[in-house]
């Protein structure tokens, strides 16, 4: 039997991101695209909803110290805006760790420049340890992100 498209594999945070993740900036609503006509007509902005969980989507930018081009957007799935459990180490930067992490394989890139990538989702934040992943902390929300495979 084949594995269905969209299957999510459970993965330990430390295995996926051995050097941890750093969130850059804040978590913001992930809104649907709104055309110029929609804006001028005064139509309200709608926040995206995940088709699998039915929860609202929020986004944040993260950096993976283990990658050369490490800036990525992460989509958090939660009914309320998630708040990280760690404090800033530099202005606008804080180490984060994700709980309940899953990986979904996908093909990224265009034309002859395609490569294996993954969509990462999580059930929430854990407190991050300095210098990489840790087993401590508790959570809030869920995340999704695409990272180029090594």
Residue that is written with structure tokens 């804040």 in the block: 26
| pLDDT score recorded for residue 128 | 52
| pLDDT score recorded for residue 57 | 87
- Which two structure tokens, joined as six digits, stand for 81? 């805006």
| pLDDT score recorded for residue 34 | 84
| pLDDT score recorded for residue 51 | 84
| pLDDT score recorded for residue 137 | 42
Q: How many CB atoms lie within 10 A of CB 120?
A: 24
Mean pLDDT, consecutive 10-residue stretches, the chain (150 aa), reads 83 89 90 86 88 85 83 81 88 88 87 88 70 43 46
| pLDDT score recorded for residue 29 | 92
| pLDDT score recorded for residue 113 | 93
Cα–Cα distance measured from residue 145 to residue 9, given in angstroms and rounded to the nearest whole number? 14
Cα–Cα distance measured from residue 36 to residue 86, given in angstroms and rounded to the nearest whole number? 38
- Is the full-model pTM beyond 0.85? no
Strand pairing of 57-63 and 115-122? unpaired
């Amino acid at each position: 039997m084949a594995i269905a498209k969209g299957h999510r594999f459970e993965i330990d945070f430390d295995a996926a991101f051995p050097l941890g993740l750093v969130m850059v900036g804040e978590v913001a609503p992930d809104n649907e695209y709104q055309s110029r006509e929609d804006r001028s007509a005064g139509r309200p902005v709608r926040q995206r909803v995940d088709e699998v969980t039915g929860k609202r989507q929020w986004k944040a930018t993260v950096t993976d110290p283990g990658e050369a081009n490490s800036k990525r957007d992460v989509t958090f799935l939660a009914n309320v805006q998630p708040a990280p459990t760690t404090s800033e180490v530099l202005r606008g930067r804080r180490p984060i760790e994700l709980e309940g992490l899953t990986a979904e394989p996908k093909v990224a890139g265009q034309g002859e420049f395609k490569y294996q990538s993954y969509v990462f989702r999580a059930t929430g934040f854990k407190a991050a340890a300095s210098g990489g992943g840790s087993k401590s902390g508790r959570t809030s929300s869920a995340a999704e992100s695409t990272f180029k495979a090594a």
